[in-house]
Amino acid sequence: MAGRDEPGGVTTARLELLHAEGVAVSVDGRLILAPTTLAFTRGQVVGIIGHNGSGKTTLLRCLARQYTPTAGRISLGGRPLAAWGARAFARQLAYLPQQTPASTGLTGRELVALGRYPWHGPLGRIGPQGRLAIEDAMRLADTEAFADRLVDHLSGGERQRVWIAMLIAQETGFILLDEPIAALDLAHQIAVLGVLRSLSRHRNAGIVLVLHDINMAARFCDTILALRGGAVIAWGDPAAIMTAEVLETVYGIPMRVLTDDASGHKIGVPV
């Protein structure tokens, strides 16, 4: 169905594209994000890496319509972000901020159910399809055990998984996450990234996530986007990024790339 135009409406093909053209952000005359042109498609996992203050979060917030860039335009499905209605946009794109509120007063299931708001709106009810989406999301994020527990009482990692379940229940084409695995233990880092990856494979979701761990990014992402000082310095598949030269440019310290004999995964380590 790719590229097939349907008369009188946004085509499915166009909805597959989140497009940033010349997007730049400056605060008080200081350039946080240099003019950047990027296109994200559905069915792909894109990892954004870079040192602290390299503009990763800013880029993600612009894409998620949380922040209006000072220059350039971003469009989803060919329509500028500003032209989307609040709920219509939330049905297309979900976003998990770096910091989620520590206290919500809600149980796990209640929080995940909030992900259905874009579908039922302020006065509607959650239908059978919605309930199915909620159960499904909780299963995928391995959070069924927290359904009736208060989110406030969960550990940081457990809480993070509930929030990710909420995003999944939102059933959007794109899911943007800002350091989603920072608080998780190793096993759940692998599990969560695995879920996101399977969402991209089986439900054609476009995943964009900020990651700190270059090795996790190399292992789970289809494409890696490297930022430095507010500018994109590398963009390509993990094999192209995982070289000593590129990593050195990204992090500003000498790096070496090893290959794990058993799995064949590339591993970057500082020298």
Partner 1 sequence: MRVSKSFARGGESQACALAAVLALVGIAITLGRWVGQVPGSSWIEAAFHPASGNVAQLVFHFSSLPRSSVAAMSGAALAVSGAIFQHVLRNPLASPVTLGVSSGAQLALVAATVLAPTTLGATPEITALAGGVASMALVFAIASAQGLSSPALILSGLSVGLLCGALGHVLKLFNQESLAAVFLWGAGSFAQDDWSVAAALVPRLAILTLVAAFLMRPLRLLGLADESARGLGVSLTLYRTAALGVAVCMAASVTAAVGMIGFVEIAAPLAARLAGARRLGPRLAIAAVIGAAILLIVDALVQALNEWFGASLPTGAATTFLGAPLLLGLLPRMRAGVAGETSGWAEAGRRLQRPGRLLMRLTLLTLVALVLATMIGRTGLGWSIIGPYSWSALAPWRGPRTLEAFAGGAMLGTAGTLLQRATGNPMAGPEILGLGAAVMVGLAGALLIDPAASQVTLFTAGATGALILLIVLMGSGLRTRFAPDQLLLTGIALSAALDAVIFAFLALNDPRAGVLLGWMSGSTAGADARSTSIMVVLAAILVPIGLLFARSLDILPLGDPLARELGVSLTPTRFGIMLVSAALTAGAVLSVGPMTFVGLIGPHVTGRLGAHRSLLQVPGAALVGGLVMALADWLGRIVLAPFEIPAGLVAALIGIPYLVVQLLRRVPARSA
Q: Which residues bind partner 1 (CB under 8 A)?
A: 64-66, 85-91, 94-97, 100-107, 110, 114-115, 117-118, 120-123, 148, 150, 152-153, 170
Q: What is the spatial distance between Cα 124 and Cα 119, in angstroms, rounded to a whole number?
A: 9
When the beta carbons of 104 and 249 are compared against partner 1, the nearer one is 104
Q: What is the spatial distance between Cα 197 and Cα 146, in angstroms, rounded to a whole number?
A: 23
Q: Minimal distance in Å, beta carbon 131 to partner 1?
A: 16
Please give the full DSSP string across 94-130, using - where no structure is assigned: EEE-S---S----BHHHHHHHTTHHHHTTT----HHH
When the beta carbons of 163 and 226 are compared against partner 1, the nearer one is 163
Q: Minimal distance in Å, beta carbon 154 to partner 1?
A: 11
Q: Minimal distance in Å, beta carbon 25 to partner 1?
A: 16
Q: Minimal distance in Å, beta carbon 171 to partner 1?
A: 12
When the beta carbons of 95 and 146 are compared against partner 1, the nearer one is 95
Do 227 and 49 contact (CB within 8 A), yes or no? Answer: yes
Do 210 and 56 contact (CB within 8 A), yes or no? Answer: yes
When the beta carbons of 118 and 268 are compared against partner 1, the nearer one is 118
Spell out the alpha helix ranges (H) of the chain.
12-15, 56-63, 86-92, 108-114, 117-120, 128-140, 156-169, 186-202, 214-220, 238-241, 244-251
Q: Minimal distance in Å, beta carbon 88 to partner 1?
A: 8
| Both tokens assigned to 250 | 């990204």
Q: What is the spatial distance between Cα 162 and Cα 170, in angstroms, rounded to a whole number?
A: 13
What is Dmax (Cα atoms) for the chain? 58
| Both tokens assigned to 240 | 């192209």
Q: Minimal distance in Å, beta carbon 38 to partner 1?
A: 20
When the beta carbons of 149 and 265 are compared against partner 1, the nearer one is 149
When the beta carbons of 88 and 258 are compared against partner 1, the nearer one is 88
